[in-house]
Amino acid sequence: MLFDSPAYFVFLIPVVLVYWRLDRRGQNIFLLLASYFFYGWWDWRFLALMIGSTTVDFLIAQKIAPNCSDGNRRKWFIFSLLLNFSILGTFKYFDFFVDSFSTALGTLGIHNIPLPIIRIILPPGISFYTFQEVAYIVDVYKGRLEPAKSFVEYGLFVSLFPHLIAGPIQRPGHLLPQVQKDRTFDADRFFDGLMLIFSGLLRKCVVADNCALLANAAFGGQFGPPNLWVVLIGTYAFAWQVYGDFSGYSDIARGSAQLMGFHFMVNFRQPYLAHRLQDFWRRWHISLSTWLRDYLYIPLGGSAGGNWKTSLNLLTTMILAGLWHGANWTFVIFGAIHGVVLGVERQLFPTKKVPSDAAQPSRFMGLLSLLGQRILTFNIFCLSLAFFRATSLSAATQFLAGLSNFAWRSEYLSAFLMLSLFSIPLFVVDLLMEASNQEYPFATTSYAFRTGLATMAFIVLAFFSGNNLNAFVYFRF
């Protein structure tokens, strides 16, 4: 049940209509059942896994709160972490480690070693709901959050369908209290939710799906052997594809939740306007980057151990972030590139106070410097995406090797024009949102104006939607 499919809206509309006719307890029970139906639509067999892990963590949380008299609270806490990460590791990385071990043995000349031939199917959204459960267990253990008393409330926090498959990763302290209290219908927020859904559909169906056609052609060889122009077309197109895709999903998820009175955190804040990679990760997939900061980077020591220890912590965090995205060495390299660049940035641009009497550059030079930093940051990210998009390390290196070839073909101009047609409008939208700090463009204008925008969105979707076979990129994570 894809968010950009008719089936989703056939599901969403009656759920919202029934939901607002119930009291809070009835709403929670109804939404929990609807969320399980939504997840079971993908593959009902995975429901047992999610319900099982939800039940175990719900029971363990009762034993690990700081005011709990159970002397084994630390053991229960460690058991929960081991269980959650073992489930995630088994389903997501079993095949990866077996294949990597077999390849390593082959390089040593060891062949014909019997290895497991099991191929494990990856449950949808397991990375997202596992991270939510881990955050809940950690927050309860640290005393930041009281354990939920109702299984329905905790189960709904984990499985609420708008965020279930691809986030945003919800913090327990943000979403769980919303589940536990009454929600009242607000016409303004309901209308904003509809506008977020329209925004998400445009980002996904128009920007992402059309850019995907170019990215697939470049990485798939339809533009010929890799050269400078093919690499630029492929990486730039994929950059706008993955941005339109995931920010579009996040908008639809946030809008769907808002129709039912829930508020999800903003997951993207104009990331391609970042002036450094550190700034980029404060704007890109914010729910993941803040989770990694609070539950991995800071526990590793954060920035408390000097520049080199900090750089090592950054590298470790980003490698694991890359591996979170997929069970392939390409994702490890993707994460390592970001970790190295973040470490270099920290060495070259340490945070320090500027004396008030220090000479300041002119406004023009300041803007020129900012523009240069944004262009550099964007291109570093785009080049790292070659590893994110490629199916293997050899495919990624062969693709990037084309940077030394400057051969031009006439069809490249058409590709760049098509890329500009679908990426520049989204870039302009980001500039507007950066200036206004709103959750979607023109959020404070009249109902009539925004209704006109929605009508235009329908027309654009009808005429410019791309290939509907491109599923959301982040569904596989």
* CA distances (Å), origin 407, targets 225, 226, 228, 413: 10, 10, 8, 13
Q: Hey, is 88 helix, strand or coil? A: helix
Q: Are 422 and 210 in contact (CB under 8 A)?
A: yes
Residue that is written with structure tokens 């949808």 in the block? 124
Query: How far, in Å, CA of 271 to CA of 203, rounded?
Result: 14
Q: How far is CA 246 from the centre of its chain?
A: 6
**Contacts of 181-190 spanning 24+ positions with Cβ under 8 A:** 181/24, 182/24, 183/24, 183/27, 183/260, 183/261, 183/262, 184/261, 185/20, 185/261, 186/261, 189/258, 189/261, 190/258, 190/259
> What's the CA gap between 468 and 4, in Å, rounded?
8
168 prior amide bond cis, ω within 30:
yes
Left, alpha or beta for 270 (phi > 0: left; psi -120 to 50: alpha)? Answer: left
82-85: long-range contacts, CB 8 A cutoff, minimum separation 24: 83/53, 83/56, 84/53, 84/57, 84/130, 84/133, 84/134, 84/137, 85/130, 85/134
List the structure tokens of 338: 């970001």
What is the SS3 assignment for 20? coil
Output the six-digit token pair for 142: 């640290």
DSSP designation for 476: G
d(CA 253, CA 168): 8
How far from chain centre, in Å, is Cα 198?
A: 19
DSSP H helical ranges for 329-410: 329-348, 363-389, 393-400
Q: Is 301 left (phi over 0), alpha (psi -120 to 50) or beta?
A: left
Q: Which of 111, 275, 285, 325 is labelled catalytic?
A: 325
Taking the C-alpha atoms of residue 39 and residue 156, their distance in angstroms, rounded to an integer, is 12
Catalytic residue flag (residue 325): yes
**Catalytic positions, please?**
325
